[in-house]
Amino acid sequence: MSQATTSARLSEATSASPMGITALVVWQAVIGLALCGVAFWQLGQVLSGTAENAVTAAIFGVISAILGVVSLVSVPFILRHDHRGRMMALASNYLLFFAVFFGLLNRIGFFVGLDDLADSFGRGLPFLAVVLIGYLISSLGEKDSKRSERDILIQRIGWGIAAVFMAIAIFLMGGITAVQTLLTRIFSDPLNIGLLLLTVALAVALWFLWRAPTAATFNAKVSHTETLNGYLLLSPNLIGFLIFFLGPLVFSLYVSMTEWSAFGAPQWVGLGNYGEILSLNVSPLAEAGQRASEVLPDRFVELSRFSLGESPFVLGAKDKLFWIALRNTFVFALLVVPLSVIPALVLANILNSKIPGMNIFRTIYFIPSVAAVVGVAAIWNWLYNSTTGFINYAITGTVNFINGLFGVVVADPEFRWLSNSDTALIAIVIMAAWRLIGFNTVLFLAGLQGISREIYEAADVDGASTMRKFFSMTLPLLAPTTFFVVTTNIIQSLQIFDEVIVLINPPAGPDNATLTAVLYLYQNGFQRFNLGYASAVAWVLFGVIFIVTLIQFRIQRSGEAY
């Protein structure tokens, strides 16, 4: 018998049976059609307005449509024994298995029962400790492949102890009663029985697809197996990403095109919310004092006035508060970024020395970055107090010192930092910059320590001054770190929210002086329950941050080109 014939027979022996492949094709087709049917039913209810919960129906409809299409698309690939068909079948069955399994657990009250288990967990805790001891005993018998009968006996004794005390712990924690309750709930409801049977069928399908004979039928290579193993290990994080990040992100995009108060069915408005937010109008004025309402279209209010030559104009907007919030956000970012980056760069150069005790100073400067915003705001609220605050106290002392030293009468300013529209935003800028300096300093310090000392030694030999080394060597070599620090600080500044809402009361401040984009989003979504409009504001802010970040990347790349 030739080697080729032997290999062929061996391949046939280790391949999946034609009957199994046929069953897989039928299974994928049935599952795909069923899921597409569910998708049409759910989305039809949403569009017709008959769904009890339009949001839940829309989510289930979209997920069912995606899984159904993947299942149907996998059928022709499976018929051709193409490995892509196996991959798609595994993905669709795997995701559907977890969806059905966790849906069944939710219906029978499994997750609610975990609270009862937590209450009785203490009764079984001592026995769980004995389970650990049994496991340690069993490990004494796991020496090597040449184990004696004594080692095998020790291992069995250890596993026996672990099994017995695990059973006792489960019994004391009410595990047996809980299992009986769950089984009763499953078999008392036909829908639950159907979900259980579907879960078992999906598990069998996954087992069949994962088997080595099935992989051989689809000509799976080692790289394919490694890829599947990798995705299997990553699947919990990937599923979490889909459910808790990508899913809400896509859902918020849908909500941004609706009018929805979180109660009832969303009303589709398309790009109406975006038009309301971004609508601007520039109209000429007959004279500088003319009323804006006389020249602006309906629903537009005055945002600002300006002149081109001798011709006055008025700028109007449908949503004046959004543009005020966006202006405040940009002003905040333009002030905070240099105030938090430049001092951090100077501090990093000072701390990048081998003076004894320097680690203590590095820790001290980093503390504001890890301190809670609420605690920091409470301290700064006291510092900014117009009557008892230390800042005004220091200003008053300085004024009195100048009066006594030079005989010049200087009025005490008595700044009302948080209640004056001219200083409220500046007060938040100072506090935010103070919090960011420590973290930026650590980043710059890491960048400085990555620069080779030989470069500076060569500069010392050439007689370069300290300032020349800083501007000609340190700054260019720190360019990647500086780019990262500036980019992250701009993104954080454009998303400013915490400092405003905990420091200013009311958060928008006097005359909306501290109204920021994220705060405006919060007010619309969680105070006025206008979630559709709030989602549109969030996506507009995302677009602004994306454009600003893209510009920074382009500037960085153009600098590297030179």
What secondary structure does DSSP assign to 16-42, as a single string? PPHHHHHHHHHHHHHHHHHHHHHHHHH
Of 118 and 557, the one with more pLDDT: 557
Per-residue pLDDT at 545 exceeds 80:
yes
Per-residue pLDDT at 446 exceeds 50:
yes
Which candidate, 235, 227, 212, places its Cα nearest to that of 98? 235
Per-residue pLDDT at 363 exceeds 80:
no
Cα 105 to Cα 98: distance, rounded to the nearest angstrom = 10
Q: What is the mean pLDDT of residues 1-30?
A: 67
Alpha carbon of residue 86 to chain centroid: 32
Per-residue pLDDT at 410 exceeds 80:
no
Q: What is the mean pLDDT of residues 305-331?
A: 89
Cα 520 to Cα 326: distance, rounded to the nearest angstrom = 9
Per-residue pLDDT at 489 exceeds 90:
yes
Per-residue pLDDT at 30 exceeds 90:
yes
Mean pLDDT of the chain: 83
Per-residue pLDDT at 145 exceeds 60:
no
Contact 487, 493 (CB under 8 A): no
Q: How confident is the model at residue 2 (pLDDT cuts 50, 70, 90)?
A: very low
DSSP three-state, residue 284: strand
Per-residue pLDDT at 122 exceeds 80:
no
Amino acid type, 122: G
Radius of gyration of the chain (CA): 34
Report pTM: 0.74
Could you read off the pLDDT of 500-532 as tens digits, one per residue? 988 888 888 788 889 999 999 999 998 888 999
**Which residues are registered as beta bridge partners of 302?**
316
Per-residue pLDDT at 8 exceeds 50:
no
Mean pLDDT lowest for which of 101-105, 114-118, 322-326, 358-362? 114-118
Cα 162 to Cα 141: distance, rounded to the nearest angstrom = 14
Q: What is the mean pLDDT of residues 151-164?
A: 83
- pLDDT for 90 equals 92
Amino acid type, 20: G
- CB neighbours (10 Å) of residue 479? 13
Mean pLDDT lowest for which of 24-28, 88-92, 292-296, 396-400? 396-400
Tell me: cis bond preceding 343? Omega within 30 of 0 counts: no
Mean pLDDT lowest for which of 176-180, 289-293, 311-315, 510-514? 176-180
Length of the chain: 562
Per-residue pLDDT at 35 exceeds 70:
yes
- pLDDT for 112 equals 73
Could you read off the pLDDT of 212-246 as tens digits, one per residue? 888 888 888 888 888 888 888 888 888 888 888 88
The set of residues, in sequence order, having a beta carbon less than 8 Å from that of 28 and lying 6+ positions away, is: 71, 72, 74, 75, 78, 89, 92
Whole-number Cα distances in Å, 333 to 105, 270, 374, 523, 551:
48, 32, 21, 21, 15
Alpha carbon of residue 119 to chain centroid: 32
Contact 368, 490 (CB under 8 A): no
Per-residue pLDDT at 411 exceeds 50:
yes
- One-letter-per-residue 3-state SS of 300-361: CEEEEEEEECCEEEEEEECCHHHHHHHHHHHHHHHHHHHHHHHHHHHHHHHHCCCCCCHHHH
Which pair of tokens denotes residue 550? 């893209």
Which pair of tokens denotes residue 111? 């997750």
Cα 71 to Cα 39: distance, rounded to the nearest angstrom = 13
Contact 395, 432 (CB under 8 A): no
The set of residues, in sequence order, having a beta carbon less than 8 Å from that of 396 and lying 6+ positions away, is: 412, 414
